[in-house]
Structure 1
Amino acid sequence: MGEVIKNRYEFVVLFDVENGNPNGDPDAGNMPRVDPESGYGLVTDVCLKRKIRNYVEIAKEEQEGYKIYIKENIPLNRSDNLAYEYLGIDEKKAKNLKKNDPEADKKIRDFMCTNFFDIRTFGAVMTTFVKASLNCGQVRGPVQLGFARSVDPIVSQEVTITRVAITTEKDAGNKSTEMGRKNIVPYGLYRVEGYISANLARKVTGFTEDDLELLWDAIINMFEHDHSAARGKMSVRELIVFKHSKELGDCPAYKLFDAVEVKKKEDVTYPRKYQDYKLNIHEEQIPETVELIRKI
């Protein structure tokens, strides 16, 4: 599966939404998530990781080493059973596994990291091996994302929609249409920042150079196979990568993030497209030992 990464990375992703809801808030009637004090839009890291997982699942189709652990409608214990089968553990004898083999936790953890891309990448809480009363602990993944935040405050617009198909025969005698509502953001440009630790990759999960290239592909294409009427038009516009020269890095992450400046153009009042914004990368703020890579 390739060599484990040896360099620390940070990255910035810019993506936008047009006439859609990028991440509904179940605590607010599924309206677009927003910071109530500032009006800036939010998209959770969990939402973005779901898109990345979905792309890898489509691209690799359950190939060896690229299974997905956190899947919709799939119990975690079903994936856990693969580790038992690999180690040849009988279900009836599972409770004695840890007593007979003190290294059982580590063996199962290593198996899960080797076979599941999302565990190898993002980590996981490995406390679900209930058959053997095992606690493999929390696996810290080398790849971490923050919340995405819009570059400018967003406007959440509620749109009334009608449907000509009536639900029941009773209703058909009283009305010819039914009403509904959906919430959209007319336009919003979002920014999310991420971190990749070569130290955790080497010590914990074994995240490789091949995994890294797949991650970049997944980020670039995370909305391309996930279109829906609810989410509108969503696109990744920029993937800016900072590659350090060594495992522990050459400078604090915030200095690299500060070098990426995104703001709307002076003659634009209400941004409605990506071209209404201007991206400046202040390369003079980036140390010479850090390589700047623009993937898009």
Structure 2
Amino acid sequence: MSEVLKNKVDFMMIIEVTNGNPNGDPDMDNAPRTDIETGHGLITDVCLKRKIRDYVAKRKTGEAGYGIYITAGIPTNRPEAAAIDATSEETKEKQPYEAGEIVKKYLCDNFSDIRTFGAVLTSLSKNNLGDGRVNGPVQLCFGRSVDPIDPQSITIDRITVASEKEAEAKSSTMGRKWIVPYAVYTVCGHISAEKAKKTGFSEEDYELLMEALLNMFDDDASSARPDMAVRNLIVFKHESATGNEKAWKLFDRVSVKRVSEGPARKFSDYEVKIDTEDMPAGVECIIK
């Protein structure tokens, strides 16, 4: 593993969706998540973290240090118990808090998503090994569409049948799927170099994260999300660990506006402007 990340980083993604549901709301019949006051579309940070985890799991299958802690169907107390057992010799004569820190380090070293996003390790508190909280260096904000969206419910008909009774009745099953015909979303994120020191988030982890952000939708196409893409990734890398400029001032340098009349249906209906002139001292703008 390479050295720990020493620079604060702020970044913005520009994501497009075509005829898909970027993030369904289970409380609203899986309709695309929407700001009920403005009509803008939303994508949760949890949704995006899942895409990143899945990308890393495929990209680093079987490699030491790149396990995924949050995995469907696997209780989180299983890897926690394994970590407590693996460090038992090292922790047996330590004070509870110190022992908990050793277990946390083991989990950070072995699980990429803990090292990146942090975790709440409930088994540690249950075993009197500290509070079990790991504050991750990478934080994602909610994605928000540039314009209000107009979700559409599409009726679908399944011609196959699931039982002999349905076959005799010659019945078919009706269903619905939600889509956003077209939308562009922006998502902001932050990487704390101070927290990276605590979890061991490295330069190599940073490069892998950038790769995942750019490519996380490429191998994730489904009926619900057949065509999503990260069109731009704008990275503001600071020279210092604590930052050389306020994040909001850097994000204000990025403008995404609709330039066409009528409903937007392609990326060229929007104009993306990135102001790289007179950048603050100690801040580098990288456009991927």
The alignment yields a C-alpha RMSD, in angstroms, of: 1.9
Structure 2: gaps spanning 5 or more residues: none
Alignment of 1:187-266 (within 5 A): 187-202=182-197, 204-265=198-259
Q: Which residue number corresponds to residue 40 of structure 2?
A: 40
Contact 2:244 2:281 in 1 (8 A): no
Contact 1:197 1:247 in 2 (8 A): yes
Identity of aligned residues (%): 51
CA drift at 1:135: 3.5
For normalisation by structure 2, the TM-score amounts to 0.94
Contact 2:100 2:124 in 1 (8 A): no
CA shift in 2, pair 1:85/1:63, >3 Å: farther
Q: Which residue number corresponds to residue 122 of structure 1?
A: 117
CA drift at 1:100: 6.1
Structure 1: gaps spanning 5 or more residues: none
For normalisation by structure 1, the TM-score amounts to 0.92
SS at 2:187 equivalent: strand
Does the alignment pair 1:74 with 2:69?
A: no
SS at 2:244 equivalent: coil
CA drift at 1:134: 2.9
Q: 2:101 aligns with which of 83, 97, 106?
A: 106
- Between the two proteins, the alignment pairs up a number of residues equal to 288
CA drift at 1:82: 2.6
Alignment of 1:107-186 (within 5 A): 107-129=102-124, 132-186=127-181
The CA deviation string for residues 145-203 of structure 1, in whole angstroms up to 9 with x for no partner, is 0000001111110001111112222222333432111111111111100001111112x
SS at 1:128 equivalent: helix
SS at 1:105 equivalent: helix
CA drift at 1:285: 6.2
Q: Determine the C-alpha separation between the residues in 1 that align with 2:142 and 2:233.
A: 16
Tell me the amino acid that sits aligned with residue 178 of structure 1. T
SS at 2:185 equivalent: strand
Tell me the amino acid that sits aligned with residue 261 of structure 1. S
Tell me the amino acid that sits aligned with residue 241 of structure 1. V
Q: Determine the C-alpha separation between the residues in 2 that align with 1:217 and 1:19.
A: 25
